[in-house]
């Protein structure tokens, strides 16, 4: 497979594959739990405000799913916090002084908050008052957001590093202002784009589950409510996301032009208006886009707001600094395509509302079911675009990926990669199956929470005389 | 002038200690898990930690993330040096972590997830213990990087520390269970606690005896005058606490065995500190060699100063909410 590569290059490729694999797998869960934690907070808040049991039922229905997804997010996230040391030790040594504190802040202000209040959120409904329980839910939701804040700051600093000084031996040292490090140029755009993506991803999952059950029973009030809430989210937030993504793209053009060139497939410079390629097969060897189908001058129009504006291509970038175009070009198109499909679904739902057919339009429901997992695909595609587009650097323009890797021999990295692949697919595959099974049960009145689930006879339940647990009676 | 590097060494030591005792009893319960009967006994054991395990494990993230932030060079050397151990620990913790949820979701495969819970806990505890031994026996460093092979960590000594940590975690887990569960499970917990206490004492003694003979520094530190007079109380007090623990377990006290076990772990940590000081990678990298830039230390110290009291407060509150016996119908 790696014939022709020397052992060091092989180890590098394997380490990159391992990071890409573990982080992609991991991010699926936060992408869902950031949105779902907020959705749960909204549901519980609506229940407390209106007193309608329907909201409590929905809260409990999604809480069970949240608990499974969150557990997988925790264990796969733990792996990430050690990957930097196991496989990217030179990077950690050189950059630890700058990004380490941000990650430490993530642990202190986010992970402990989530974990500390999660137990009460999941199992404490009968052990603390309603207000306190709601506070716990809010803290978990806040924790997911704060976590995103710090880790996206770290990632953005690697894309657009600012606020640092260079020490002896190529060490990155913090400058006088931490704000200059945290609020680096791409951070606000990436944070907004990522958090909205998590909300959209969750909305599409919730919408798909609602739609699935509407296709079976369109009178189910619970299915209707979740479908309606999710479709509002898609209709209102998908356009915002497209605007946010566009702004993020312009920011990237300013700070990481080579990444945009790869996204656009612009191998050559276009002195008088660059075309927007909709399709093409990038050929990195020949530095040429084959079978290109494009709209003349549209890329200049989007990126420069002027159809005749010149746009530089990868021919202006030194060959050793070019990112691989094939992956970036296509992952970007997948993300954007799905984004517009989400917008389409949102608009369709608005049309259905105006015609009073939101709950009676099976084609819409089928489309929503099909779109259910699309958020995950878009989110991963987006991350692939920005991370592969940063190559061949870990700290953009300053520290090469090849100079960041641990001195671990290829066989050790290969063995660990294989173990991660096998175990992740097995364990998280089964976990996903459990989540799908929970979703396949229609939401009902008097929904059980995770603390009194019939399959969890005693768990950490409160005192529940009305609910006789099976098995555990003495 | 206060040396922030020393303060950070103490903070990291505190995080490691918190992790060891808090996730220690979680992992210990996992290690003892198959010895409890399926059904009520195991469900109670699981319930004794279900609401708090995630918070406990977060201390491991703080230990790792904190090491990266405060001593990046140590993080960059120790993790590659113990590569297979860290990977094994992570994968063990994956199985352990998901088993909490999965065993309730799938009664037909509960026996499988119970074994995953056991196996994951055992592998994680063993890997952590071997890592400790690997660190103490020394790591081959050249320049700013690990320069050994990928099985350098494996030695009779590191295996001894590995088994020692498994025994110690089992003791913590058994004492925690004795507090939280009732009926036959409680009786079993006390029985395991006694066995684990003996095993822990013997293994801790063996590690303590073996360590001075690893390298010059440890022997000098402990056995030369005047250090020997200053340090002699550490093993003596440990012995007294161990004796009190065995007695307390015999009398089936509620809280006392757990607290005495914490004291043993604390004394073990003190002993470790005495041996390692001032190295973070023994004999190769001192805490000052590995320390993060001054500005990083200050920035993080502000965060720790403000946030750590809050963390301890709400963590304490969460434990308070789920206080008391788990019982077979939940908490009383």
What would the DSSP string read from start to end of A296-344?
A: TTHHHHHHHS-TT--B--GGGS-GGGPPPHHHHHHHHHHHHHHHHHHHH
Task: Of A431, A117, A64, give the one whose Cα is nearest residue B54.
Answer: A117
Number of Cβ within 10 Å of residue B215's Cβ equals 15
Residue B164 contacts residue B156 (beta carbons within 8 Å): no
- The DSSP output letter for A283 is E
Residue B214 pairs in a beta bridge with none
- Please name the residues in contact with B172: beta carbons below 8 A apart, sequence gap of 6 or more: B21, B24, B25, B28, B258, B261, B265
pLDDT for B148 equals 86
Residue B57 contacts residue A74 (beta carbons within 8 Å): yes
Residues of B in contact with A427 (CB under 8 A): 94-95, 98
Of the candidates A78, A106, A472, which has its C-beta nearest B329's C-beta?
A472
**A354 backbone dihedrals φ, ψ, rounded to 5°:** -65, -30
Residues of B in contact with A122 (CB under 8 A): 51
* Model confidence pLDDT, tens digit, residues B156-177: 999 999 999 999 999 999 999 9
Of the candidates A169, A416, A463, which has its C-beta nearest B329's C-beta?
A463
Q: What is the ipTM of this complex?
A: 0.89
Chain A residue closest in CA terms to B69: A100
The answer to whether B44 faces chain A, any CB pair under 8 Å, is yes
Q: What is the pTM of this model?
A: 0.90
Task: Look at residue A291 and tell me whether its pLDDT is greater than 50.
Answer: yes
Average pLDDT of the residues of chain A:
89
- Number of helices and strands (H, E) in chain A? 14, 6
**A277 backbone dihedrals φ, ψ, rounded to 5°:** -80, 125
pLDDT for A124 equals 85
Cβ separation B83–A461 shorter than 8 A: no
* Model confidence pLDDT, tens digit, residues A420-455: 999 999 999 999 999 999 999 988 887 776 665 444
Task: Look at residue A469 and tell me whether its pLDDT is greater than 80.
Answer: no
Task: Of A119, A167, A107, give the one whose Cα is nearest residue A143.
Answer: A107
Task: Of B292, B15, B233, B252, give the one whose Cα is nearest residue A172.
Answer: B292
Q: DSSP characters for A164-195?
A: EEE-GGG-EEE-S-HHHHHT-TTHHHHHHHHH
Residue B206, preceding bond cis, omega within 30 degrees?
no
The region that residue A446 occupies, defined by phi over 0 for left and psi between -120 and 50 for alpha, beta otherwise, is left
pLDDT for A188 equals 96
pLDDT for A467 equals 38
Distance (Å, whole) CA A63 – CA A189: 30
Residues of A in contact with B83 (CB under 8 A): 86, 406, 408, 412, 416
Residue B22 pairs in a beta bridge with none
The region that residue B215 occupies, defined by phi over 0 for left and psi between -120 and 50 for alpha, beta otherwise, is beta
How much is the CA Rg of chain A, to the nearest whole Å?
24
CA–CA min distance A123, chain B (Å): 7
Q: Which of B50, B154, B308 to mutate to test the interface with A (most CBs of A within 10 A)?
A: B50
Residue A85 contacts residue B76 (beta carbons within 8 Å): yes
Chain B residue closest in CA terms to A132: B321
Helix (H) or strand (E) holding A280: strand A276-283
- Mean pLDDT within B132-140: 91
Cβ separation A409–B292 shorter than 8 A: no
- Please name the residues in contact with B160: beta carbons below 8 A apart, sequence gap of 6 or more: B133, B203, B206, B207, B210
pLDDT for A2 equals 53
Domain map (residue ranges) of chain A: 7-234+398-467
Task: Look at residue A1 and tell me whether its pLDDT is greater than 60.
Answer: no
Local structure of B138: helix, strand or coil: coil
Cβ separation A407–B80 shorter than 8 A: yes
The answer to whether B18 faces chain A, any CB pair under 8 Å, is no
Confidence of residue A154 (pLDDT cuts 50, 70, 90): very high
Distance (Å, whole) CA B295 – CA B220: 35
Average pLDDT of the residues of chain B:
90
Q: Which of B105, B106, B154 to mutate to test the interface with A (most CBs of A within 10 A)?
A: B105
* Model confidence pLDDT, tens digit, residues A160-215: 999 999 988 889 999 999 999 999 999 999 999 999 999 999 999 999 999 999 99
Distance (Å, whole) CA A234 – CA A189: 20
Q: Which of A107, A434, A448 to mutate to test the interface with B (most CBs of B within 10 A)?
A: A107
Q: How many CA atoms lie within 13 A of A184 on its CB side?
A: 29
Local structure of A464: helix, strand or coil: coil
Local structure of A395: helix, strand or coil: strand
Residues of B in contact with A177 (CB under 8 A): none
Task: Look at residue A224 and tell me whether its pLDDT is greater than 80.
Answer: yes
Confidence of residue B332 (pLDDT cuts 50, 70, 90): very low
* Model confidence pLDDT, tens digit, residues A93-118: 999 999 999 999 999 999 999 988 99
Pairing assessment for the beta strands B285-286 and A172-174 based on DSSP bridges = unpaired
**What is the 3 state secondary structure string of chain B?**
CCCHHHHHHHHHHHHHHHHHHHHHHHHHHHHHHHHCCCCHHHHHHHHCCCCCHHHHHHHHHHHHHHHHHHCHHHHHHHHHHCHHHHHHHHHHHHHHHHHHHHHHHCHHHHHHHHHHHHHHHHHHHHHHHHHHHHHHHCCCEECCEECCCCCCCCCHHHHHHHHHHHHHHHHHHHHHHHHHCCCHHHHHHHHHHHHHHHHHHHHHHHHHHHHHHCCHHHHHHHHCCCHHHHHCHHHHHHHHHHHHHHHHHHCCCCCHHHHHHHHHHHHHHHHHHHHHCCEEECCCEEHHHHCCCHHHHHHHHHHHHHHHHHHHHHHHHHHHHCCCCCCCCCCC
* Model confidence pLDDT, tens digit, residues B273-319: 888 888 898 888 999 999 999 999 999 999 999 999 999 998 898 88
Q: Ranked by mean pLDDT, which of A11-25, A116-130, B221-235 comes out on top?
A: A11-25
Residues of A in contact with B79 (CB under 8 A): 82, 85-86, 89, 92, 406
Task: Of A344, A91, A357, give the one whose Cα is nearest residue B72.
Answer: A91
Cβ separation A108–B105 shorter than 8 A: no
Distance (Å, whole) CA B181 – CA B187: 9
Cβ separation B51–A124 shorter than 8 A: yes
Q: How far is residue A58 CA from its own chain's centroid? A: 24
Chain A residue closest in CA terms to B41: A472
pLDDT for A452 equals 56
Q: What percent of chain A has pLDDT over 90?
A: 71
Local structure of A448: helix, strand or coil: coil
Distance (Å, whole) CA A170 – CA A94: 7
User: B residues 194-233 near A, CB within 8 Å?
Assistant: none
Cβ separation A104–B314 shorter than 8 A: no
* Model confidence pLDDT, tens digit, residues B33-65: 999 989 888 888 888 888 888 889 899 989 888
* Model confidence pLDDT, tens digit, residues A77-97: 889 988 998 999 999 999 999
Of the candidates B51, B64, B327, which has its C-beta nearest A119's C-beta?
B51
Local structure of B279: helix, strand or coil: strand
Task: Look at residue A462 and tell me whether its pLDDT is greater than 70.
Answer: no
- Mean pLDDT within A305-328: 91
Task: Of A332, A215, A200, give the one whose Cα is nearest residue A265.
Answer: A332
CA–CA min distance A15, chain B (Å): 12
Task: Look at residue A470 and tell me whether its pLDDT is greater than 60.
Answer: no
pLDDT for A471 equals 36
Of the candidates A97, A424, A460, which has its C-beta nearest B72's C-beta?
A97
Distance (Å, whole) CA B166 – CA B188: 18
Residue indicated by tokens 């699935």: A212
Instruction: Please report the number of interchain residue pairs, chain A to chain B, with beta-carbon separation below 8 angstroms.
Output: 281
Distance (Å, whole) CA A262 – CA A327: 9
Of the candidates A85, A115, A459, which has its C-beta nearest B54's C-beta?
A115
CA–CA min distance B54, chain A (Å): 5
Cβ separation B72–A124 shorter than 8 A: no
Residue A57 has which token pair?
């039922």
Residue B226, preceding bond cis, omega within 30 degrees?
yes
Residue A184 pairs in a beta bridge with none
- For residues A292, A294, A300, A301, the Cα torsion angle rounded to the nearest 10 degrees is -170
Total residue length of chain B: 332
Residue indicated by tokens 């499974």: A68
Residue indicated by tokens 């119908």: B329
CA–CA min distance B1, chain A (Å): 20
Confidence of residue A128 (pLDDT cuts 50, 70, 90): confident
Local structure of A404: helix, strand or coil: coil
Number of Cβ within 10 Å of residue A162's Cβ equals 17
- Number of helices and strands (H, E) in chain B? 14, 4
Residue indicated by tokens 């755009």: A189
Cβ separation A104–B62 shorter than 8 A: yes
Residue A149 contacts residue A474 (beta carbons within 8 Å): no
Residue B134 has which token pair?
């690997």
Distance (Å, whole) CA A470 – CA B40: 11
Of the candidates B46, B106, B300, which has its C-beta nearest A101's C-beta?
B300
- Mean pLDDT within A131-148: 94
Task: Look at residue A221 and tell me whether its pLDDT is greater than 60.
Answer: yes
Decide: residue B315, CB within 10 A, 0-12 exposed, 13-18 middle, 19+ buried.
buried
pLDDT for A388 equals 94
Cβ separation A116–B314 shorter than 8 A: yes
């Amino acid at each position: 497979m790696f014939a022709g590569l020397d052992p060091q290059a092989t180890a590098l490729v394997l380490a990159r594959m391992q990071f890409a694999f573990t982080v992609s797998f991991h991010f699926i869960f936060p992408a869902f739990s950031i949105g779902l934690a907020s959705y749960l907070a909204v549901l519980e808040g609506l229940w407390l405000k209106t007193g309608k049991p329907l909201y409590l039922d929905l809260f409990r229905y999604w809480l069970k799913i949240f608990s499974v997804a969150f557990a997988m997010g925790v264990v796969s996230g733990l792996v990430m916090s050690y990957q930097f040391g196991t496989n990217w030790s030179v990077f950690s040594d050189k950059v630890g002084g700058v990004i380490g504190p941000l990650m430490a802040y993530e642990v202190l202000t986010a992970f402990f908050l989530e974990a500390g209040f999660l137990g009460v959120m999941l199992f404490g409904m009968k052990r603390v008052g309603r207000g306190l329980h709601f506070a716990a839910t809010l803290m978990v939701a806040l924790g997911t957001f704060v976590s995103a804040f710090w880790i996206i700051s770290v990632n953005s600093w690697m894309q657009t590093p600012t606020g640092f000084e260079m020490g002896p031996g190529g060490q990155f040292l913090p400058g006088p202002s931490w704000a200059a490090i945290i609020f680096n140029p791409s951070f606000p755009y990436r944070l907004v784009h990522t958090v909205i993506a998590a909300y959209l991803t969750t909305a599409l999952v919730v919408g798909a589950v609602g739609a699935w059950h509407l296709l079976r029973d369109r009178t189910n009030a619970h299915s209707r409510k979740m479908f309606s809430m999710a479709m509002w989210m898609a209709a209102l937030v998908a356009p915002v996301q497209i605007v946010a993504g566009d702004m993020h793209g312009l920011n990237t053009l300013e700070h990481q032009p080579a990444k945009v060139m790869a996204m656009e497939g612009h191998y050559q410079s276009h002195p008088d208006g660059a075309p927007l390629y909709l399709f093409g097969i990038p050929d990195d060897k020949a530095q040429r886009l084959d079978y290109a189908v494009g709209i003349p001058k549209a890329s200049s129009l989007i990126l420069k707001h002027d159809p005749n504006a010149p746009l530089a291509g990868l021919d202006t970038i030194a060959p050793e600094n070019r990112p691989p175009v094939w992956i970036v070009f296509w992952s970007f198109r997948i993300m954007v395509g799905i984004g517009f499909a989400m917008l389409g679904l949102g608009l369709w739902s608005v049309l259905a509302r105006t015609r009073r057919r939101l709950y009676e339009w099976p084609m819409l429901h089928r489309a929503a079911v099909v779109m259910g997992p699309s958020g995950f695909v878009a989110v991963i595609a987006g991350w692939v675009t920005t991370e592969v587009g940063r190559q061949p650097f870990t700290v953009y323009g300053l520290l090469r990926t090849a100079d960041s890797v641990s001195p671990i021999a290829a066989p050790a990295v290969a063995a660990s990669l294989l173990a991660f692949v096998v175990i992740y697919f097995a364990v998280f595959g089964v976990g996903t199956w459990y989540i799908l099974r929970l979703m396949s049960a229609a939401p009902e009145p008097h929904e059980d929470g995770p603390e009194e689930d019939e399959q969890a006879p005693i768990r950490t339940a409160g005192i529940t005389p009305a609910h006789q647990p099976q098995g555990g009676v003495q | 002038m206060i040396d922030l590097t020393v303060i950070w060494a103490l903070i990291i030591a505190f995080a490691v200690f918190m992790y060891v005792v808090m996730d220690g009893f979680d992992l210990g319960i996992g290690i003892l898990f198959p010895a409890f009967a399926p059904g009520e006994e195991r469900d109670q054991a699981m319930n004794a930690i279900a609401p708090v395990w995630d918070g406990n494990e977060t201390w491991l993230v703080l230990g790792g993330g904190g090491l990266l932030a405060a001593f990046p060079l140590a993080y960059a050397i120790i993790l590659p040096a113990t590569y297979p151990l860290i990977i094994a620990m992570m994968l063990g913790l994956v199985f352990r972590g998901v088993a909490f949820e999965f065993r309730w979701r799938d009664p037909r495969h509960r026996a499988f997830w119970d074994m995953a819970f056991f196996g994951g806990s055992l592998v994680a505890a063993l890997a952590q213990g071997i890592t400790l031994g690997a660190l103490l026996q020394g790591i081959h460093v050249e320049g700013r990087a690990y320069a050994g092979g990928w099985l350098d960590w494996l030695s009779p000594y590191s295996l001894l520390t590995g088994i020692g940590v498994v025994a110690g975690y089992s003791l913590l887990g058994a004492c925690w269970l004795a507090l939280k569960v009732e009926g036959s499970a409680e009786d079993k917990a006390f029985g395991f606690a006694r066995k684990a206490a003996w095993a822990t004492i013997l293994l801790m003694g063996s590690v303590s005896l073996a360590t001075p003979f690893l390298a010059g520094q440890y022997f000098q530190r402990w056995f030369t005058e005047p250090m020997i007079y200053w340090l002699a109380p550490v093993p003596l007090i440990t012995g007294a606490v161990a004796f009190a623990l065995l007695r307390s377990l015999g009398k089936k006290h509620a809280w006392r065995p757990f607290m005495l076990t914490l004291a043993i772990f604390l004394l073990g940590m003190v002993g470790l500190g005495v041996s390692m000081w001032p190295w973070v990678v023994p004999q190769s990298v001192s805490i000052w060699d590995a320390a993060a830039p001054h500005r990083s230390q200050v920035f993080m110290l502000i965060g720790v100063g403000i946030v750590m009291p809050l963390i301890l407060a709400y963590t304490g509150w969460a434990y308070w909410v789920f206080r008391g016996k788990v019982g077979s119908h939940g908490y009383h």
